[in-house]
Amino acid sequence: NAGVTQTPKFQVLKTGQSMTLQCAQDMNHNSMYWYRQDPGMGLRLIYYSASEGTTDKGEVPNGYNVSRLNKREFSLRLESAAPSQTSVYFCASSEVGPSGEQFFGPGTRLTVL
């Protein structure tokens, strides 16, 4: 099992460019999440998908869109990148409910110039 995979690992964008971060899990989990990690701020939830076909906003959704393509895949799109979106992005998945451990991907380091 690969667990949670993310592509790309690194990306540099210019302001205004768009890109999609890909995430896939092979653990048959219902719930998937996108977080961003910034120094001194921990992880902040961008969007999540409790189950296939549903998506909901998290704490910091502005400037992002998501697609739950199927049970395995959950993508994050930046339509017009801004320097404030420079961050490390993590995808995670879990079973439904609070006792379900969240499994994290290795992260995508994004720099917006």
Partner 1 sequence: GEDVEQSLFLSVREGDSSVINCTYTDSSSTYLYWYKQEPGAGLQLLTYIFSNMDMKQDQRLTVLLNKKDKHLSLRIADTQTGDSAIYFCAEWSGTASKLTFGTGTRLQVTL
Residues contributing to the site for partner 1 (CB under 8 A): 4, 35, 40-45, 48, 58, 90, 92, 98-99, 101-107
In the complex, the smallest distance separating the C-beta of residue 80 from partner 1, rounded to whole angstroms, is 27
Tell me if 93 sits within 8 A of 25, measured CB to CB.
Answer: yes
CB of 8 to partner 1, least distance (A): 14
Which CB, 9 or 77, lies closer to partner 1?
9
The string of DSSP codes covering 77-97 is EESS--GGG-EEEEEEEE-SS
Which residue number, 105 or 112, has a Cβ lying nearer to partner 1? 105
**Closest distance of CB 106 from partner 1, Å:** 5
* Contact assessment for residue 22 and residue 89, using Cβ atoms and an 8 Å cutoff: no
Decide whether 19 or 43 has the Cβ nearer to partner 1. Answer: 43
Spell out a b/e string for 19-45, using b for 16 or more CB atoms within 10 Å of the CB, else e. Answer: eebbbbbeeebbbbbbbbeeeeeebeb
